[in-house]
Structure 1
């Protein structure tokens, strides 16, 4: 079967789909992955032929759509109205991003000529229209729990529960925000595809009447499947970024890891751009204050230990697969993105979450609830007085609190029982190759 996976967002929104593609390909399917061209090298390293889906994740519109698609507003946290005067420029940027995404997705589908679509949270509202027009079945493959539930509020609205009724209302409001952001692009795409006009209300009603099956690629160790979700929505476990067989750590990193006690990794992924120098200073001073060795992962921030006095206790690295690196560590300080949160748990490591925007406070709270993370530190707190002292205290607890390690290891054992990619494979092979959604 020819399968097209379509995803848009930052590195953590793309990389897991390389592992899912590899699993489907190993079962005999022909798989293409459509993503922004900035990820071409990532896709090629997984032996995938990239399909261009221009959607710059660093643009203001891309960031806003990412927040909204994860269950909040384009302007920030919460599910409020996106039409306020203070937010209009951001909303315009988000709408422009979505229109580009819609056009690009139609071209990607035409190039790949798939028999089935696998759609991320960000591409699903547009992919549904292509599924309908072309008679191609589609499955959702989501990395965040965006559907309303009484169990928790929309991930981007924060970690505090609003009560079961309040959580559901907030989830529905968040869906309306997404509908408004995608409305113009959906109308334009439907016109291009020769489909009848449909208002945002009509599309929402059609979605409620026919729920597209969505498999969620995170662990029930963090988010059990809500009992009030429709049967078509399932939590199946993570699909992990592809790592080539025979891949190994860079020699310099392997030598550093072997030269002393397990270090602590500090990395903020796609967060903190432009703050690398300040964050690097704070990180190195905190690690040394805590009495541990450290590895700083540069990420988009350009995090580096080079601005502090040199020593053999710190190392700066670039992009290294978590599956290879994390088993050698003592703990991880990270931005609480969904992928890094899961990778830390998979390695049985305690976390110090430092969430920034979008769904990160949600995942940080889930780590704390699982007993595998310290109390979250706000990203802003790393710029405040005594930032190094606070971070050092959190690192010291993560490294030395045996209960955190025990709970993280218990979560890792639970995750070993899940086969997220296998669940997607089963769903793909059970889906009839007829009709839309």
Structure 2
């Protein structure tokens, strides 16, 4: 089977698709993976770039309404236009038997319909598959159960997607016919790459929604950095990561985490990412190590606690490692996952981003540390899920 995989976003949106691509290829399928950018950075995976610089798109110069509006016009809209057209162009060139796409690839349904092949939606949080049991992740009410009104919250992401209808229509120029198909066929299946241990399947999802568990590469990662290896082996530590969330004062935020960890007698591994964290000024003590990036599964299994922003990928990686957490959500689906981790007993109650301080973090760390037994139990369950196996099974069944 020729599989076209299309994804967009940050590391948490890319790495699961990489795992899916590698596993599908290992089972004899021809796979091409379209990534936001830096498409030649992956060994052993046939990749193409969609021309989307996620870091620029997610980093407005200011937070005022005028600055955000300017950023949408000057960065977001042109980037989406390029990406949607490139997704069509690259899919047509590959001539696949099936199209598997991230919700942000809004032109994927159109190109799949035009080629007459099934398409499969991949979700890392429930944003496009409605349920009465919980609200849409990423919406303004993502942490509140609205009962019978939960289903209405899924209109928010649909409305946001319609803002780019003109760009999807423009991307039709890349189709063999040069025009958009008259109708739109429903997706043949949805792959919900979410662990049932963190979000039990609701009874109102239709049968074509397959909750596979999270997608990750099953070969254990290792860190080639001897400094990281020495730090990890030197005693109990906290892993702190805010991923691509660079809002606010990264150094001050890191200082708060270091101070709170020290109050519990713990060292801190700061994973600075895109600038969400930074080594505090003057903090060069041996109980703190700052690195830009590190394979999570190489360090999480040795950590006693994690402090993170609650992105879907990080939330699943930490929980799968059996590590309790304190979650400080910033935006998007992060409040949803922060609340869900707390409900499942593997994280302390979330700390709102603007309320992060030593006064809130010290007791939250204590609460999280008391959840180690429950976190270990959930981790054991998640490590048996094998999400990419289940996902490829579904694709082969088409």
The alignment's TM-score, normalised by the length of structure 1, stands at: 0.82
Q: Normalising by structure 2, report the TM-score.
A: 0.90
Residues 151 and 167, structure 1, Cα contact 8 Å, conserved in 2: yes
Task: State the alpha-carbon separation in 2 of the partners of residues 88 and 294 from structure 1.
Answer: 38
Q: Superposition pairs for residues 187-266 of structure 1, below 5 Å?
A: 187-193=169-175, 194=177, 206=184, 210-241=186-217, 247-260=222-235, 262-266=236-240
Gaps of 5+ in 2: none
What's 1:394 paired with?
A: 364
SS at structure 2 position matched to 1:227 = coil
- Residue equivalent to 1:421: 388
Give the match's secondary structure for 1:222.
coil
SS at match of 2:159: helix
RMSD, aligned CA: 2.7
> How has the CA–CA distance of structure 1 residues 215 and 337 changed in structure 2, closer, same or farther, with 3 Å as cutoff?
same
- Cα deviation for residue 55 of structure 1 reads 1.3
Residues 1:350 and 1:247: Cα distance change in structure 2 (over 3 Å): closer
Give the C-alpha shift of residue 389 in structure 1. 3.0
Secondary structure of the corresponding residue to residue 8 of structure 2: coil
Structure 2 CA distance for partners of 1:57 and 1:366, relative to 1, 3 Å: same
How far apart are 1:148 and its partner, in Å? 1.6
Q: State the secondary structure of the residue aligned to 2:54.
A: coil
> Which structure has more helix as a fraction of its residues?
1
Matches for 1:74-93 after TM superposition, within 5 Å? 89=70, 92=73
2: CA distance, partners of 1:145 / 1:423: 18
* Maintained 8 Å contact 2:194/2:214: yes
Distance 1:86 1:277, change over 3 A: closer
| Residues 94 and 181, structure 1, Cα contact 8 Å, conserved in 2 | no
CA distance in 2, matches of 1:59, 1:226: 36
Residue 49 of structure 1 is aligned with which of 35, 46, 49?
Answer: 46
Say which is worse superposed, 262-271 or 150-159, in terms of deviation: 150-159
Aligned residues of 2:193 and 2:213 also touching (Cα < 8 A) = yes
Contact persistence 1:333–1:354 (CA under 8 A): yes
Q: Structure 1 residues 116 and 263, CA, compared in 2 at 3 Å: closer, same or farther?
A: same
The equivalent of 1:7 in structure 2 is 7
From 157, 161, 177, the counterpart of 1:174? 157
Q: 2:113 aligns with which of 123, 132, 136?
A: 132
The SS at the match of 2:55 is coil
The number of residue pairs the alignment matches comes to 392
1:246–1:316 CA distance, 2 compared to 1 (3 A)? closer
Counterpart CA distance in 2 for 1:238 and 1:212 is: 20
Query: Which structure exhibits the higher relative contact order, with contacts defined as CA atoms closer than 8 Å and separated by 6 or more residues?
Result: 1
- The one of 319, 324, 332 equivalent to 1:358 is 332
Question: What residue is the counterpart of 2:374 in the other structure?
Answer: 407
Residue 148 (structure 2) pairs with residue 151 (structure 1): no
Report the counterpart of residue 249 of structure 2 in structure 1. 275
Q: CA deviation at 1:116?
A: 2.2
Q: Distance in 2 between matches of 1:91 and 1:212?
A: 33
Partners of 1:274 and 1:176 lie apart in 2 by 29
Secondary structure in structure 1 of the residue aligned to 2:277: coil
- SS of 1:310's partner is coil
1:373 aligns with 2:347: yes
Question: 1:18: how far off?
Answer: 1.3
Deviation at 1:392, TM superposition (A): 2.3
Corresponding residue for 1:30?
A: 30
* Aligned equivalents of 2:272, 2:160: Cα separation in 1: 34
